[in-house]
Amino acid sequence: MSKLFVISAPSGAGKTTLIESLLEHSSKRNLRLGISCTTRSKRKNETNGESYFFKTKEEFQEMSEKEELLESAEVFGNFYGTPRKWVEEQLNKDIDIILELDWQGEKQIKENYPDAVSIFILPPSLEDLRERLNKRNQDSEDDIKKRLAQAKIEIINGCSFDKIIINDDFEAAVKDLIFIIDLDKEILKERQELVKNSLNQLLDQ
């Protein structure tokens, strides 16, 4: 039976890279990343129906009013949402879907699909997260401070996810995802303890 997975993490925790590696190494041939609708402009290297489903604001609003979106959010003036029909078509074809969303999107998905498996990815520490954000060289110091403050909120909300893993070691984190998604198993005991200890430290910071 096909499954819907939601993966979330604070900005800079390595979520996208982990998902890319998971999709590359997964033993499931029917596992794929979800495609969102968006009202932002299409970039040169993007294809409609592959990168995103590009919609006008009017089309997006109509989808929202007709409850054709499983979740939606506004980001920097653009709207993003997960199309219900596309997800249901994939699940009906016995294709497992991964949705890469924030904690608010996860809550909306859970309202529509209570059986969806949500996975939250922890950074080892806020200092480690700061270093990763600095290395990306994409944000100002003020932006990094805002992202770290937001990360604390995300971690607090991430505590309610079905599964929590930590991206302290990239290969180990990918294996954790494979345990959960491919094998439908709990992560190893030592990894569970590491998550528990790191979570306590992160919430105390």
> Is residue 56 included in any domain, yes or no?
no
pLDDT at residue 139, as a whole number:
74
Render 124-166 in DSSP notation, one character per residue: S-HHHHHHHHHHHT-S-HHHHHHHHHHHHHHHHHHTTSSEEEE
The domain total for the chain is: 1
Name the residue type at position 78. N
Residues 27-36: what's their mean pLDDT?
93
Question: 28 pLDDT band (50/70/90 cuts)?
Answer: confident
Question: 85 pLDDT band (50/70/90 cuts)?
Answer: very high
Sheet strand arrangement including 96-100: 31-33, 96-100, 4-8, 117-122, 163-166
> Is residue 111 included in any domain, yes or no?
yes
Sign of the dihedral defined by the CA atoms of residues 188, 2, 167, 102, in that order: negative
Residues 187-202: what's their mean pLDDT?
94
Question: 145 pLDDT band (50/70/90 cuts)?
Answer: confident
pLDDT at residue 166, as a whole number:
97
> Is residue 140 included in any domain, yes or no?
yes
With tokens 């993966």, the residue in question is: 7
> Is residue 174 included in any domain, yes or no?
yes
Range of the domain at 190: 4-34+95-204
pLDDT at residue 147, as a whole number:
84
pTM higher than 0.85, yes or no?
A: yes
Over the chain, what is the mean pLDDT?
94
**DSSP type of residue 183:** S
Q: CATH no. for residue 177?
A: 3.40.50.300
pLDDT at residue 31, as a whole number:
96
Residues 6+ away with beta carbon under 8 Å from 25: 174, 178
Residues 6+ away with beta carbon under 8 Å from 5: 96, 97, 98, 99, 116, 117, 118, 119, 181
With tokens 């990918």, the residue in question is: 174
Element (H, E) at 59: helix 57-65
> Is residue 74 included in any domain, yes or no?
no
Element (H, E) at 189: helix 189-204
> Is residue 171 included in any domain, yes or no?
yes
Render 16-56 in DSSP notation, one character per residue: HHHHHHHHHH-S-TTEEE---EE-SPPPTT--BTTTBEE--
pLDDT tens-digit readout, 32-63: 999 999 999 999 889 999 989 999 999 999 99
> Is residue 112 included in any domain, yes or no?
yes
pLDDT tens-digit readout, 65-82: 999 999 999 988 999 999
pLDDT at residue 137, as a whole number:
73
> Is residue 72 included in any domain, yes or no?
no
pLDDT at residue 42, as a whole number:
93
